[in-house]
């Protein structure tokens, strides 16, 4: 049993140095009954004042359905598929790289050829079927990185619960649709 007032330097530790930012705990000797009683009362009073101070403060609770914590710009929420703004054509060319990159194997792409009469995307082919099974998705964002045309990005929507598993399979139309702005975005420096 070492003396509690011993510092680390005095212990002659040569094999390992904790460095400069070591915290040394200095313990005073155990107080006598009178001082212990006084300390108990003083610390109890201090604790009571601490909690009393909280009464005048505003609560930190975010009243969730009414208020929402704003998300960061890089927050990975529900996916979005994009179109070119000028031509309105889909950016996705059905290359299935996202499906290949997906660790959860939740993306299904069936590609089809664009024809002059039916031009859907800007490239040679387009995604005839594009489905993301959100009950399997782990929101890692690899699909976004894999995509050579920035056709798929992670949005900010995180309120995705549903009553049926099959409702969580999002089709191309659902992913292309402009999502309801349900999630506030955090401003710069907030």
Partner 1 sequence: MLAIVGYYEEWWIQILKAVVIFAVGLQLVPVVLLAERKLLGRFQARYGPNRVGPFGALQPLADILKLLTKEQFRPSTSIGFLFVLAPLISILTAVAAFAIIPFGNVQHIFGKEVGLYGIDVSIGPLYVFAFGGIAFYGIMLGGWSSGSKYSFLGAMRAAAQLISYEVSQGLALVGVIFTAQTLSLTGIVEAQKGMWYIVPQFFGFLIFLTASFAETNRAPFDLTEADAELVGGYNTEYGGGRFASYYFAEYLNVLVVSGIVTTVFLGGWLMPFGIHPPGWVDPFVVLFKMGLVTFLFIWVRATLPRLRYDQLMSFGWKVLLPLATLNALVTAVLVVVTH
Minimum CB separation from partner 1 for residue 69, in Å? Answer: 16
Q: Which residues bind partner 1 (CB under 8 A)?
A: 44, 47-48, 50-52, 54-55, 57, 59-61, 63
104-111: Cβ within 8 A, 24+ apart: 104/136, 104/137, 104/138, 104/140, 105/136, 106/132, 106/133, 106/134, 106/136, 106/137, 107/131, 107/132, 107/133, 107/143, 108/132, 108/133
Burial letters 156-180, b for 16+ CB under 10 A, else e: bbeeeeeeeeeebbbebebbbeebe
Minimum CB separation from partner 1 for residue 32, in Å? Answer: 14
Minimum CB separation from partner 1 for residue 90, in Å? Answer: 44
Q: Looking at beta carbons only, is 9 or 55 nearer to partner 1?
A: 55
Q: Looking at beta carbons only, is 25 or 55 nearer to partner 1?
A: 55
Q: Looking at beta carbons only, is 6 or 37 nearer to partner 1?
A: 37
* HSE-up of residue 130 (Cα within 13 Å, Cβ side): 27
Q: Looking at beta carbons only, is 56 or 115 nearer to partner 1?
A: 56
Minimum CB separation from partner 1 for residue 140, in Å? Answer: 34
């Amino acid at each position: 049993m070492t003396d509690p007032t011993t510092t680390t330097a005095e212990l002659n530790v040569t094999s390992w140095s904790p460095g400069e930012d070591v915290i040394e705990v200095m313990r005073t000797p155990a107080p006598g009954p009178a001082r212990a009683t006084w300390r108990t009362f003083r610390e109890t009073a201090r604790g009571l004042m601490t909690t009393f101070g909280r009464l005048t403060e505003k609560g930190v609770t975010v009243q969730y359905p009414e208020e929402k914590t704003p998300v960061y710009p890089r927050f990975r929420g529900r996916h979005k598929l994009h179109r070119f703004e000028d031509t309105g054509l889909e950016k996705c060319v059905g290359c299935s790289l996202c499906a290949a990159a997906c660790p959860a194997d939740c993306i299904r792409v069936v590609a089809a050829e664009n024809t002059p009469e039916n031009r859907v995307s800007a490239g040679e082919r387009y995604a005839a079927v594009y489905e993301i099974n959100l009950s399997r998705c782990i929101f890692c964002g690899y699909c976004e990185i894999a995509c050579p045309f920035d056709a798929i990005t992670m949005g900010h929507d995180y309120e995705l619960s549903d009553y049926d598993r099959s409702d969580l399979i999002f089709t191309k139309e659902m992913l292309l649709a402009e999502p309801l702005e349900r999630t506030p975005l955090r401003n710069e420096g907030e």
